[in-house]
Amino acid sequence: MLGGKAGRGMAGMKAAMDDQSVAQRVLDHIANGTTDVGQEVWREPVANYRSQERLAAEIERILRRSPAPFCPSAALPEAGSYVAREAAGTPIVAVRGSDGTVRAFRNACRHRGMQVASGAGCARALVCRYHGWTYNLEGRLRHIPHEEGFPGFDKAAHPLVPVIASECLGLVFVTQDSPALDDDSLGGLARLIAPDQRLFATAEREFEVNWKILLEGFIEGYHIKSTHPESFLPYGFDNLNVIDLFGRHSRVTYPFQRIKKLAKVPAQERRVEGLLTYVYHLFPNVLITVLSRHTNVVILEPLAIDRTRQITYTLTNGGGDDPAALAEARRDAEFVGTTGAAEDRAVVQAIQRGLGSGANEAFTFGKFESAIVHFHKTLTAALG
């Protein structure tokens, strides 16, 4: 632990703190005018944001070998539900089988390579729209139109090619390539997406920004006063965060001013819903933002050194099919999306434009940006 003027420090943790511990940490920081601080300063070479070779290594050796969230389980609510998109440059389709199990496959027909699904939906089978080759929900090839034109062709030997898929914490995880990067540090977390949370929006957008710059904007609160002076600062704090590190992952807590009322509540009775925002970073490229009335699962897919596709799944924070809960979630999501998110996008796009200025050989991440330091240390170690 670090002490000193900045406040209490952090040690690596196997699991994120519980809500009551976070609330107490925040109240202590408010009383003392402090915040969590890291243990070191990190200098990340600007070349690592501009190198084609570095990006190729990040995709091939990290993104494809990490068990990364592909979508929330709520995106696959019933047998036949599927989500198809590119992950780390590879077309992947995840589908819930008739047995309730989620499976994932390389999204390519075994005939001529056409994708067998696009977007999201629900179907009784996966059918290639080029020639009609048909696969069941378990990936087995079941039908070839005019099969007599393929004498001796063994359908059983040509299923869709599977990739590793699993469900954990309310998310569907996919690992594309072996050897997979081992990591059991999520085991100590509570469920991130609960069964009564409903998916109500999915969006894709491309940004002319390196994926790491886009990610960095989510996981530090040092910028709140300067970047969000009228949107978030009046409700929150300037540079007051609680930061958990667990395995390769992290969580940054952004408290609201109204959390002060918990000082009068017995510690064991404190509830933090609506009083703070949690931002989980699941290494390498996924963020889960738990806001007052909604939760976003944000996936950053690098397309080039200066281009990233952001896929966002937006869910209610509970309430099942209650219309009131859905209405609250929609209002909350609209406010966040039209205020703070737009401000953050403008900043990261400006950073991207500045990469080629020659002003910086490296970016310096200080002790208030310790979740970013943890990310770059972890990424560098995994590549090494």
In a domain, 374, yes or no: yes
| Same-domain check for residues 151 and 242 | no
In a domain, 8, yes or no: no
| Same-domain check for residues 32 and 141 | no
- Whether pTM exceeds 0.75: yes
Report the domain count for the chain: 2
193: CATH: 3.90.380.10
Going 359 to 361 to 366 to 370, the CA torsion angle's sign is: positive
| Same-domain check for residues 29 and 137 | no
What is the span of the domain harbouring residue 348? 19-61+189-383
Give the separation between CA 99 and CA 79, rounded to whole angstroms. 7
Per-residue pLDDT of the chain (384 residues; tens, 9 = 90+): 233 334 444 444 457 889 999 999 999 999 999 999 999 999 999 999 999 999 999 999 999 999 999 999 999 999 999 999 999 999 999 999 999 999 999 999 999 999 999 999 999 999 999 999 999 999 999 999 999 999 999 999 999 999 999 999 999 999 999 877 766 678 768 789 999 999 999 999 999 999 999 999 999 999 999 999 988 899 999 999 999 999 999 999 999 999 999 999 999 999 999 999 999 999 999 999 999 999 999 999 999 999 999 999 999 999 999 999 999 999 989 888 767 778 888 999 999 999 989 999 999 999 999 999 999 999 999 998
| Same-domain check for residues 174 and 197 | no
